[in-house]
């Protein structure tokens, strides 16, 4: 979605520095993701004491000793592919090349 907003310059600079972001877009998107995660976390915390556990009470799931490793723990894999170059097509703006900055 394309939108124009006015953002405090000092706040944006502080956010970009804190997160190590190269672009304002990256900083704004990460801030939005953080806000969404925070709300989801608050919703989960609100369920505290309201759920019934019908599982195995012989295992303490709250802590894992620091010296104990879990060798068979599943690891999420992510497929990474090279980005396709953006080219102008008859489909509209979605595949246009980015504009070049005009010479000063």
75 in a structural domain: no
Query: Could you write out the DSSP letters of every residue in 50-102?
Result: T----S-TTS-TT---TT---TT---------PPPPP--BTTBGGGPPPPPPP
In tens, the pLDDT along 23-34 reads 999 999 999 999
In tens, the pLDDT along 77-103 reads 655 555 666 665 555 555 556 666 666
pTM of the model: 0.48
52 in a structural domain: no
| Half-sphere CA count of 33, side-chain side, radius 13 A | 6
Which of 65-70's residues contact partners 24+ apart within 8 Å by CB, and which partners? Answer: none
CB 98 within 8 A of CB 86: yes
23 in a structural domain: yes
Q: What residues make up the domain containing 16?
A: 7-47
93 in a structural domain: no
Q: What percent of the chain has pLDDT over 70?
A: 60
29 in a structural domain: yes
CA 80 – CA 68 distance, rounded (Å): 31
How many separate domains does the chain show? Answer: 1
31 in a structural domain: yes
58 in a structural domain: no
12 in a structural domain: yes
């Amino acid at each position: 979605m394309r939108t124009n907003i006015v953002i405090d310059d000092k706040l944006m600079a502080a956010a970009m520095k804190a997160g190590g972001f190269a672009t304002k877009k990256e900083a704004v998107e990460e801030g939005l993701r953080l806000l969404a995660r925070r709300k989801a976390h608050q919703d989960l915390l609100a369920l505290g004491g309201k759920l019934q556990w019908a599982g195995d009470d012989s295992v303490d799931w709250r802590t894992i000793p620091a010296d104990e490793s879990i060798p068979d723990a599943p690891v999420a894999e992510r497929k990474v592919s090279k980005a396709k170059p953006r080219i102008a097509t008859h489909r509209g703006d979605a595949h246009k090349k980015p504009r070049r900055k005009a010479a000063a």
